[in-house]
Amino acid sequence: MRKLLLLLAAATAFTATSAHQFKVLNKGKIIYYNIVSEGNLTAEVTFSGNSYDVVANEYAESIVIPEKVTQMGKTYSVIGISKDAFRNCSRVRSVTIPESVKTIGEGAFKGCSGLQTIKLPNGINEINESVFEDCTTMLSVNLPDSLEKIADKAFKGCSSLTALSLPATMNDFDIHSVDGCKDLTSIAVDTLCNMYSSEGGVLYNKNMTRLLRCPEGKASVSIPESVKEIATYAFFGCYKMTGINIPASIGYLGDFAFVNCTALTEISFPESIKLIPEGAFKDCTALKKVSLSNATSVVRNNAFYGCTALAEVSFPAIVEIGEKAFYNCSAIKSITFPATLKTLNSECFGGCISLISIKAMGAAPAKCDGSVFDPRSTYKCALSVPEGKVQAYRAAAGWKGIYNIK
């Protein structure tokens, strides 16, 4: 019994300190492996220690993964790279992956900030979540003809990556796979692809009716007249873009479509845009002027949240403004509300501390509560209302908090 307990303790100690099952020297570098299938004699590359962060930088410089590896008289085919296998190995400069490798686990190369180029072998059909996240010096990646899917955050933070070329087999591209790719100016697509297309480096659906993703490094885009929709997060983080023409063919904007477009200074909307969606221009900190059309009746929650340079806004036919729609738009000094206005939701002008003039054209005060306007502005702000309606506004929730009503 004592002997059995000692054996169990030894086994437990081994598994607590080592995730890999064996290691082999290849071209002067130790590579760690796990056995995938003893029966099929297959193995995968992994890390040293019981988790990826136990041993720092166990891989460095140039790593060449062999197709086969021999251990204890058995020869295993190397068919995969495990989750987190090279994670945070910042001194890795290159990795040669053999054709035998068919799978690469989540976060396998995450944080490999020295990795500049990589070629993926044919047979890889998916780039999993965060595989190359924060590979900040990666300049290029060769995507195989077999690739079908690129998952969330696959290339997130690859700030030196300039282009991606999607193969004909691609049928599932996560638009957040390239968030933070600040130098990316082109997402090209093979013309034989049935799911996607590309024009001017911008990603569209196959028939080019929906704009899916504009690379963050692009400074300008000409949207084709065939496009009917701009997808959610389509222009996320396009920090070089100063302006954009939205053609009249577009009738739908997705939530957060232009979030963090920090160079965008002015935008106007065609009659086809009926509402401004949630977070559409959130944190567009250079945006100075917004002109909504006579057809735009609703501005949704957080639509212009944090647009700190926004000084001029017109909404001639607005009916409802959502929660925090203009929150922290601290440069706005005056607002005119048309007679069509019915509802102002909570804190829609919170943080608008420069607001000194409001003109309300509605005979009946729009529905709102006491949090719509920032209390730091209501004491100094003048509210102009239709003749004979001063008492109605002074009695109305939200409006009565403005001291000077005339």
The answer, yes or no, to whether residue 117 has pLDDT greater than 50, is yes
Q: Enumerate residues 6+ apart whose C-beta is below 8 A from 27.
A: 64
Per-residue pLDDT, 252: 96
Q: How far apart are CA 213 and CA 175, in angstroms?
A: 6
> Looking up tokens 């196959």, which residue turns up?
206
β-pairing, 117-119 vs 103-104, is unpaired
- Using a pLDDT cut of 90, give the percent of the chain over it: 89
> Contact, 156 vs 180, CB < 8 A?
yes
pLDDT at 294 (0 to 100): 94
pLDDT band at 8 (very low <50, low <70, confident <90, very high): very low
Residue 13 has what pLDDT? 36
- pLDDT above 90 (res 55): no
What does residue 377 show for φ and ψ, rounded to 5 degrees? -110, -25
Strands 163-166 and 186-189: parallel
pLDDT tens digit sequence for 272-301: 999 999 999 999 999 999 999 999 999 999
Q: Sorting pLDDT into bands at 50, 70 and 90, what band is 50?
A: confident
User: For 225-271, how does the pLDDT look when each residue is reduced to its tens digit (9 = 90+)?
Assistant: 999 999 999 999 999 999 888 999 999 999 999 999 999 998 889 99
71-95 burial, b if ≥16 CB within 10 A, otherwise e? eeeeebbbbbbbbbbbbbbbebeeb
Tell me the helices (H) and strands (E) count for the chain, helix number first: 3, 31
Beta-strand pair 92-96/61-64: parallel
pLDDT band at residue 173 under the 50/70/90 scheme: very high
Pairwise CA distance, residues 326 & 308, whole Å: 9
Handedness of CA 197, 199, 204, 209 (dihedral sign): negative
Closest CA to 185 of 166, 204, 201: 201
pLDDT recorded at residue 16: 36
Contact 298, 322 (CB under 8 A): yes
The pLDDT, as a whole number, for residue 36 is: 96
pLDDT at 63 over 90: yes
- pLDDT beyond 70 at 2: no
Structure tokens at 299: 């501005």
Q: What angle do CA 349, 350, 356 make, to 5 degrees?
A: 65
d(CA 183, CA 357): 42
- 118: pLDDT strictly greater than 80: yes
Helix H or strand E segment including 299: strand 298-299
What pLDDT score does 9 carry?
39
Q: How far is 161 from 156, CA to CA, in rounded Å?
A: 10
* Residue 370 in tokens: 């006491």
User: pLDDT confidence of 7, banded at 50, 70, 90?
Assistant: very low
For the chain, domains (ranges, CATH) are: 1-82 (no CATH), 102-206 (3.80.10.10), 219-406 (3.80.10.10)
Rg for the chain (alpha carbons), in Å? Answer: 28
Q: b or e along 96-110 (b: 16 or more beta carbons within 10 Å of the residue's beta carbon)?
A: ebeebbbbbbbbbbb
The contacts of residue 244 (CB under 8 Å, 6+ apart) are: 220, 221, 223, 235, 258, 264, 267
What's the rounded mean pLDDT across residues 176-185?
Answer: 98
